A and B are shown apart, each in its own frame.
Chain A
């Protein structure tokens, strides 16, 4: 099976712009989660989607949003970019059938740099 894929792998934007990141889960996986990784704050949870519904959201401003499509692919959007949004954005997928605690498998990440 193909793993989790994320596009693009690298992105450079300027302050004030917006950006959309994409994540394709492992085939058959219905849950997609997003995490932000920075040297200062470590790994922080952004949000989780299951069957096109957001089930949980982390403590991030409203500039960060996401959605999930019927094929389980997910996108996250960051509007009005700030320098502090520079980070590695990781997407993870899991089966998440009866259990919410299915193992999460990660994509290679998108490295976002805001200038």
Chain B
């Protein structure tokens, strides 16, 4: 069975600094996708970034980028120039081609210090 692990329950960063959130996963599948979702206090789950396993190039979306290490099964999220609006729970999620369901990590609470 596939699993996703986020080992940092909480992280804090000074506004305008850079922070990296960690995620590891376990799977025997060769074709899969990885996601980072953000859930602010409103509880709306918002897609941050997506990575296809077959792509070696790391995905980027403006201030958000990932470090995808397929052999190590690691998928970290880097947030540059942190802003107060980035404060939220961040969830790492996995989906394979076989069963149509997202498998979630426990989440990391990101605190931005002004």
Q: Identify which of residues 76-114 in chain B touch chain A, using a CB-to-CB cut-off of 8 Å.
A: 91, 95-104, 106-107
Asked, given contacts A31-B100, A33-B100, A56-B100, whether A43 binds B42 with beta carbons under 8 Å apart, the answer is no
Query: A45 at the A/B interface (Cβ < 8 Å)?
Result: yes
Task: State how many residues of chain A have any CB contact under 8 Å with chain B.
Answer: 27
The answer to whether B100 and A105 have CB atoms under 8 Å apart is no
Interface string of A73-90 (1 = CB under 8 A from B): 000000000000000101
Contact A103 B50 (CB under 8 A): yes
Within 8 A of B (CB), among A16-37: 31, 33, 35
B64 contacts the other chain (CB 8 A): no
Interface residues, chain A, with chain B CB atoms under 8 Å away: 31, 33, 35, 42-45, 48, 50, 55-56, 58, 88, 90, 92, 96, 99-101, 103-109, 111
Binding site for A on B (CB under 8 A): 31-33, 35, 37, 42-47, 50, 91, 95-104, 106-107
